[in-house]
Amino acid sequence: MDLDVVDLDHFYRRTPLGRAAADMLARRVSCLWPEIRGEALAGFGFALPVLERIGRHAARTLALMPGRIGVRRWPEAEKGASRGGGAPGNRAVLVAEEAWPLGDSFLDRLVIMHGLEIADDPVALLHEAWRVLAPGGRALVIVPNRAGFWARAETTPFGHGRPYSSGQIERLLRQCRFMPTSHASALYMPPSARRFWLRVAPLWERIGQRLPMVTAGGALIVEAEKQVYAPRKGGLPELVRGPLTVIEGLGHPAPAAGRAEGRGRGWARSPERAGRREQG
């Protein structure tokens, strides 16, 4: 399947495997971020399966969808709701990967899901994510696990794009001025829609969380914090280049007249010393 918003929405809402995957991802994210209350939250890519679970009590929640996959209305208007009445407003917007219509330090939390692995320039995308996050804001990056079975299954969204290992995604985040703080994984069950695997999916998740070195989850989840460093140029050093005004009230010492006169002529000799030199 291609990573298109229509296919992604169909996978997570209409297929048994997609609904199971959405539930397992949302549960794992809820363990890392148990409650988001009164904060600005956004998702980039196709993060709706997670946003719908963790964004209920956020001050505002936005869905940023890149032109590469398209956009759809979110949340959907309830059936039977009138146009002028109680239907929720649209909070999904189509954006460019490297230019989001948000101000600097606008967000407190950000979820990137089905966005980084298909980005043309992952570094530029993370730089834009760094810009819109407030100092100390946190990002949650969900990417296909290179060592997992889901990255090899093209019938799922995790079988497309650029999979990552745990070390690769952490190095990329550090390169873009993020500090990884915690990591987890999900989707330990095989990417199969058979009833048996769907029925035992919760058991596989519990086993996988206890034995992370034996079984590889299909999705890596890395939490990272925005780091703000002190400026290397400008700031206080630029302000103190001139004389300090705090000592303007002090008097300036006046040099002795002879010394000042000597400095003005440059090593001038007294008449007595000059006469001795001519006699010699």
In this prediction, residues 183-211 reach a mean pLDDT of 84
Q: Is the pLDDT of residue 5 over 50?
A: yes
CA distance 69 to 63: 13
Q: What is the pLDDT of residue 106?
A: 96
Q: How far does the chain reach from its first CA to its final CA, in angstroms? A: 107
Separation CA 37–CA 34 (nearest Å): 10
Determine the pLDDT at residue 207. 78
Q: How many CA atoms lie within 13 A of 185 on its CB side?
A: 31
Q: What's the pLDDT score for residue 214? A: 47
- The confidence score (pLDDT) of residue 236 equals 52
Note the pLDDT tens digit of each residue in 146-192: 988 899 888 899 999 999 999 999 999 999 999 999 989 999 988 98
CA distances, 99 to each of 3, 113, 128 (Å): 20, 17, 7
Query: How much is the pLDDT for 85?
Result: 47
What does the domain layout of the chain look like in residue ranges? 5-226, 236-279
Which of 273 and 231 is assigned the larger pLDDT? 231
pLDDT tens for each residue of 6-64:
999 999 999 999 999 999 999 999 999 988 889 999 999 999 999 998 988 899 999 99
Return the exposure string of 9-22: e unless at least 16 CB atoms fall within 10 Å of the residue's CB, then b: bebbeeeebbebbb
Angle 19-20-24 (CA atoms, 0-180°, nearest 5)? 115
pTM exceeds 0.85, yes or no: no
- Residue 269 scores a pLDDT above 80: no
The answer for residues whose C-beta is within 8 angstroms of residue 12's C-beta and 6 or more apart is 18, 19, 21, 22, 48, 49
Judge: domain 5-226, CATH 3.40.50.150: yes
Q: What is the mean pLDDT of residues 120-125?
A: 96
Q: pLDDT digit string (tens) for 59-118?
A: 999 999 999 999 999 998 655 454 444 446 899 999 999 999 999 999 999 999 999 999
Q: Is the distance from CB of 34 to CB of 26 less than 8 angstroms?
A: no
The whole-number pLDDT of residue 215 equals 55
What's the pLDDT tens digit per position in 213-263?
545 789 999 999 999 876 666 555 555 455 545 445 555 555 555 544 444
Interacting residues of 242 by C-beta distance below 8 A, sequence separation 6+: none
Whether 271 has a pLDDT exceeding 80, the answer reads no
CA atoms of 122 and 173, how far apart (whole Å)? 10
Band of pLDDT at residue 123, cut at 50, 70 and 90: very high
- Residue 280 confidence (pLDDT) above 60: no
Confidence at residue 266, expressed as pLDDT on a 0 to 100 scale: 43
Looking at per-residue pLDDT, the higher value among 279 and 6 belongs to 6
